[in-house]
Amino acid sequence: MLRIKRVPTVLSNYQKEESEDAGATGGCGRNCMRDCCLPGAKLPLYAFRKSDKVESSDKKEPPFAFLDSLLLGEWEDRVERGLFRYDVTACETKVIPGDYGFVAQLNEGRHLKKRPTEFRVDKVLQPFDRSKFNFTKVGQEEILFQFESSEDDEVKFYPNAPVNINNSPSVVAINVSPIEYGHVLLIPRILECLPQRIDHESFLLALYMASEAGNPYFRVGYNSLGAFATINHLHFQAYYLAVTFPIEKAPTRKITDFNGGVVISEILKYPVRGLVFEGGYSLEDLSNVVSDSCMCLQDNNIPYNVLISDSGRRIFLLPQCYAEKQALGEVSSELLDTQVNPAVWEISGHMVLKRKEDYDGASEENAWRLLAEVSLSEERFQEVIAIIFEAISCAVVVTEAGSLGDEDELRDVEDVDQVRDVDGSGSHKAGIVAGKQECMVQH
């Protein structure tokens, strides 16, 4: 098992409110990521090489180990500079006995020091609100590096690169309320102030980050609004945890080989129902199918979480309804009293617990009971699958119909007609009409 070096975290009063006195750093005095402080600013830049293949074993060796040398080195530097709200390395952690090996962490202070949610939890898509907290308000010292594709298709690192205000950079920043060692945020096109919603470009960037890391213990996660994202500014999370997540151990059942070589499966024998996406002839093929599925959920106001696993080769998509059940009074007081908001990490099996009694009494049964409340019912899950497959079938037709003419190529698109028949009833089969920019659902 990979051993991760852990260092004591220096506590700080990081992230002052704007009402506090400005310092002597110029601009607004907070050295933030806005127009007042950005002119002339410089930050490290990691330029990654875009890969044509999902399998990255043929990549050229980068000039240094990306995660170990850059991300973790910069993260530990911020530890020493006192930019975190609490010492995450002091949190007790244990693997819960059982078949799946759920991981429990006792983090009694996180919910008290974490920024509160400032938006509605019943709307997955909400406009960006500059008056609310967003990542342009953080100090530049919290940004570890810019993360952009290389112009000449070679991995490069620039320790002091200008911030191009006219071409909004994507950045990697510390999470000041960390769950684990190396907990960071990937913020695509930070200056564009995008709301928390996945698009093709941002999701592909997250896959490149996972792929570039090349470490199975480094996972990237995403929470939509309504699925316990707490900030409505587009971001992904990532951190190290040197164990296999329980969801990664769950068996799956293949549903279909989709367009572009992507395999879509259903998670089995796990408390939260979801889909798994793997394969693809390129990273972009895999990214497009998953991001189309996420965009479908967004458009239908279905909260969801995403886990990017196995260095970007395996992606879990998990629609959920816990916040909805909370609002309807359908969650037991016993579970509510734990104050656990099951987002992507909890759903994946890393249970961040806020009370000592819950940590001491942690069991696989208790973890299963909580996560079962997160999951859609079987009936609703099948309905959501049908909606997703209708949407991604449409996306295939719109993308391919204008350019495909060969019968063999069209046959790949027509295979989508075989996407779903899990219960043997023939229900929820999504199909497309090859060569036309339209789609249908067959019942």
Among 157-161, 252-256, 298-302, 432-436, the minimum mean pLDDT is found in 432-436
- Per residue in 202-244, pLDDT (tens digit) is 999 999 999 988 889 999 999 999 999 999 999 999 999 999 9
Contact 355, 313 (CB under 8 A): no
Going along 132-261, which residue ranges are E strands? 143-149, 156-162, 171-174, 184-187, 218-223, 236-240, 252-257
pLDDT at 97: 96
Across the range 162-173, mean pLDDT stands at 94
The two three-digit tokens of residue 245, written as one number: 């997540």
- Read off the pLDDT of each residue in 143-161 and give the average, rounded to a whole number: 91
Whole-angstrom distance, CA of residue 94 vs CA of residue 433? 52
3-state helix, strand, coil in the chain (%, to 5): 30, 20, 45
pLDDT at 396: 59
pLDDT of residue 138: 94
Please count the CA atoms within 13 angstroms of the CA of 233 that sit on its side-chain side: 23
Query: Cα angle at 152 between 147 and 157, to 5 degrees?
Result: 40
Q: Which tokens is 257 given? A: 């080989």
Residue 117 is predicted with a pLDDT of: 65
Is pLDDT larger for residue 14 or for residue 144?
144
Residue with the larger pLDDT of the pair 90 and 275: 275
pLDDT for res 26: 60
- Please report which residue ranges of 99-151 form alpha helices under DSSP H: 110-113
pLDDT at residue 319, as a whole number: 98
Q: What is the mean pLDDT of the chain?
A: 82
Q: Which of 80-84, 179-183, 420-424 has the lowest mean pLDDT?
A: 420-424
Radius of gyration of the chain (CA): 22
- Among the options 183, 200, 233, 235, which is catalytic? 235
For residue 27, name the pLDDT band (cuts at 50, 70, 90): confident
- Is residue 235 annotated as a catalytic residue, yes or no? yes
Pairwise CA distance, residues 284 & 296, whole Å: 18
Give pLDDT tens digits for 284-328. 999 999 999 999 999 999 999 999 999 999 999 999 999 999 999
pLDDT score for 87: 86
Give the per-residue pLDDT at 154.
Answer: 86
Closest CA to 227 of 128, 374, 126: 374
Cβ–Cβ contacts within 10 Å for residue 340, how many?
A: 21
**pLDDT tens string 386-420:** 999 999 987 655 544 444 333 333 333 334 333 33
- Residue-wise pLDDT for 338-374, tens only, equals 999 999 999 999 999 999 999 999 999 999 999 999 9
pLDDT at 436 over 60: no
Could you tell me the pLDDT band of residue 282, with boundaries at 50, 70 and 90? very high
Predicted local confidence at residue 406, as pLDDT:
38
Is 326 in a helix, a strand, or coil? Answer: helix
Compute the average pLDDT of residues 153-174.
92
**Among 33, 93, 125, 79, which Cα is nearest to 345's?**
93
Query: Among 342, 291, 335, which residue's Cα sits nearest to residue 317?
Result: 291
pLDDT band for 49, please (50, 70, 90 cuts).
confident
CA atoms within 13 Å, Cβ hemisphere of 414: 11
- The per-residue pLDDT for 224 is 98
pLDDT the model gives residue 115: 58
pTM of the shown model: 0.83
